[in-house]
Structure 1
Amino acid sequence: MQTSQYLNQMHTADKLSEEPWPEDATLYQVKSIHKTNVSIAYIEFPFHIRQPFEAEQILLPENASCLAVKAYLKMCNLPFGIRSCANAEHMSPGGRMTKLPFIRAGAFIFAEFEPIVNFVEQKEMAIGSFLDEDAKADMRTYVSLVENIFTMAELYISFKNERVYKEVTAPRNGIVFPWPLSMMQNYSKRNNALRLLKVYQWNDLDIDDVIEKVSKCCETLEYKLKESPDTPFFYGEMPCELDAIAFGHLFSILTTRLPNMALAQTVQKFKHLVSFCRFIDEKYFQTRCLQD
């Protein structure tokens, strides 16, 4: 079912490729983790992100996905606003992992990072056009690696670690729903997360296995970043989608306070990646959540 929804989004993006950028394009999310964004519930721009409520409701995997899309749109220099909705996940047409964020463009909806990127690329407004075909293929391999490893690790720590689940995940996920709907929502959300972890063969891992996978992914990213030591982005002087998705996940992991900080402590060991996150934050967001 998820694969079918994903392919439908790709087909829709192709159909829209020759139409002008829609003035009513809208992006949905839930509320953010970071206090700097608490006031942002709805901003009127031509383009909106739909997401959960940031300050009260959003979970680590969703926050990373939403931040990656925001970073990408900022790098593309596309104006956008944010609509935070308690039921953003249920409004989404679906996706491979978090279902969020999603954008509405006219009568069409696109959910998650890659379909949104593909939609922007069809409009010829995307970053990364400076890359040749070989470099693009290489870059997309990194994007897939980052999305799979970090999203699974974020889901694992949020739903498999009992302390994190009881103290953070369940209270945040259920906060916008009255009892007993909040309990039903938490039960359903956790089951879906555990099912996804099982599909990707992460369900039976212990925390040390998860940390090892995250560490290897960080090593790969840092090695790639070091290939161009005098440039700020992964592929030189200009950003591409890898910069956006890597920032979204790394920055969210580094700045999200959890009872178990194993993921953040792992990422912190890679100083070049931390510096990269600080640079992207300063250039596009100015939250200054990462101190020297």
Structure 2
Amino acid sequence: MPSVLLTESIALELGAQEPWPQDVKLFQPYEVEQILLPDNANCLAVQAFLKMCGLDFEVEPRSNAEYMSPSGRVPFIKCGAFVVAELDPIISFVNHKGISLSDKLDSVQKADMRAYMSLINTVLANAEVYEEIENCCSALSERLENRPYFFGDRPTELDAQVFGHLFTILTTPLPNNRFASIVRGYPNLIELCKLVEKEYFERTAEA
């Protein structure tokens, strides 16, 4: 069966009928190359999301990853006969398999989560204005408060997305990384990044 871009619910439902394969590959550019900040953030967010779901995958770096992607964006996963690109469609694909990080949230919390994820997509993915970054981090920090994750003791899709973007901002060497200085002004967001890294990346590496 040829690889297809998942743009219709029919395709999603077909994919949902199959168990998660053992040989799922996540394609992304080489990190050492000139990878754009938002692309790097999205790759990390998808990795964090899949790890939080407990799903096996192997990272497959390719220099031409964006040209291989059905949407022209990275990352994308090859899961059986299906090719799915970018965080939101990958979340939908996984959800259709009956796997969700936010299934315990009520409808108000789910709407809240989607609103914050939209804010991140709008502001952090197109980070150009410092004031917008400041406002976004402030809103996220207020929502997180002193909880380990945004909605309590379990991570959701929002935590994966925030980790991807903030960790990338904090760890990417730039000549004048004022974005990182802004993020460091919010200790609870830093703690969230440390927690996700420890729980889902260091532990996986040890295993």
TM-score past 0.5 threshold = yes
Q: What is the match of residue 114 of structure 1?
A: 88
Q: What is the match of residue 200 of structure 1?
A: none
Verify: 1:270 aligned to 2:186, yes or no.
yes
Question: Could you tell me which of 65, 74, 79 is aligned with 1:105?
Answer: 79
Task: Classify the secondary structure of the residue corresponding to 2:27.
Answer: strand
Residue 6 of structure 2 contacts residue 83 of structure 2 at CA under 8 Å; is this kept in 1? no
Q: What is the match of residue 280 of structure 1?
A: 196
CA drift of 1:212 comes to 0.5
Verify: 1:21 aligned to 2:45, yes or no.
no
Q: What is the match of residue 84 of structure 1?
A: 61
Task: For residues 78-103 of structure 1, give each alpha carbon's deviation from its aligned partner in whole angstroms, at most 9, with x where no partner exists.
Answer: 111111101100000116xxx11001
Q: What is the match of residue 46 of structure 2?
A: 69
CA drift of 1:18 comes to 2.4
CA drift of 1:56 comes to 2.7
Residue 65 of structure 1 contacts residue 113 of structure 1 at CA under 8 Å; is this kept in 2? yes
Question: Could you tell me which of 137, 140, 152 is aligned with 2:126?
Answer: 152
Q: What is the match of residue 168 of structure 2?
A: 252
Task: For residues 110-169 of structure 1, give each alpha carbon's deviation from its aligned partner in whole angstroms, at most 9, with x where no partner exists.
Answer: 11100001111111122111112221121111111112211100xx4xxxxxxxxxxxxx
Structure 2 CA distance for partners of 1:216 and 1:233, relative to 1, 3 Å? same
2-structure distance, mates of 1:102, 1:222: 29
Verify: 1:53 aligned to 2:27, yes or no.
no
Residue 5 of structure 2 contacts residue 82 of structure 2 at CA under 8 Å; is this kept in 1? no
Aligned length, in residue pairs: 200
Residue 147 of structure 1 contacts residue 245 of structure 1 at CA under 8 Å; is this kept in 2? no
Instruction: Provide the alpha-carbon RMSD of the alignment.
Output: 2.0
Q: Percent identity over the alignment?
A: 45
2-structure distance, mates of 1:54, 1:248: 14
Greater radius of gyration (CA): 1
Q: What is the match of residue 141 of structure 2?
A: 222
1-structure distance, mates of 2:29, 2:143: 33
Q: What is the match of residue 213 of structure 1?
A: 132
Q: What is the match of residue 98 of structure 2?
A: 124
- The TM-score with structure 1 as length reference comes to 0.64
Task: Classify the secondary structure of the residue corresponding to 1:16.
Answer: helix
Moved over 4 A (4+): none
1-structure distance, mates of 2:180, 2:90: 27
Residue 10 of structure 1 contacts residue 115 of structure 1 at CA under 8 Å; is this kept in 2? no
CA drift of 1:7 comes to 7.3
Residue 49 of structure 1 contacts residue 81 of structure 1 at CA under 8 Å; is this kept in 2? yes
- The TM-score with structure 2 as length reference comes to 0.90
Q: What is the match of residue 142 of structure 1?
A: 116
2-structure distance, mates of 1:57, 1:132: 41
Unaligned segments of structure 1, at least 5 residues: 24-45, 157-209, 288-292
2-structure distance, mates of 1:10, 1:101: 21
- 1:278 counterpart letter in structure 2: K
Unaligned segments of structure 2, at least 5 residues: none
